[in-house]
Amino acid sequence: MTLNVMTIVMLYMVVFEPKPYFDKLIVIVLFVIFQIYAYVRYSYKDNHSVDLIEQKWLSKSESYRRQFSILLFLYGAISIVLFIGLAIYLGSRNQSS
């Protein structure tokens, strides 16, 4: 989740900020907030328990699980590539100006 939020922030900076700047504290705070949220969500909420998620996953057909796994992989790969690409672009843009 943090990766997606940071990617959106970087896209905003590319479009609207003449000299983008990322505060390291903001990145750390966002990461901690989303880690705590995920921990509470999957540890203390019954509708998101690991057992329930596993039961739902196993109830799906094999072809559905394979297609969904491929889509999740593509989503993850595209998110990571976009995040790293934007970080490199913004970093090189800051150094050149």
pTM of the model: 0.69
Q: In the predicted model, is pLDDT for residue 97 greater than 70?
A: no
Q: Total domain count for the chain?
A: 1
Domain extent at residue 85: 2-96
User: Rounded CA gap, 67 and 16, in Å?
Assistant: 37
Q: Residue 97, exposed/middle/buried by CB under 10 A (0-12, 13-18, 19+)?
A: exposed
**Residues, the chain:** 97
User: Rounded CA gap, 26 and 9, in Å?
Assistant: 11
Q: What is the pLDDT of residue 71?
A: 97
For the segment 20-31, the average pLDDT, to the nearest whole number, is: 80
Structure tokens at 6: 């940071």
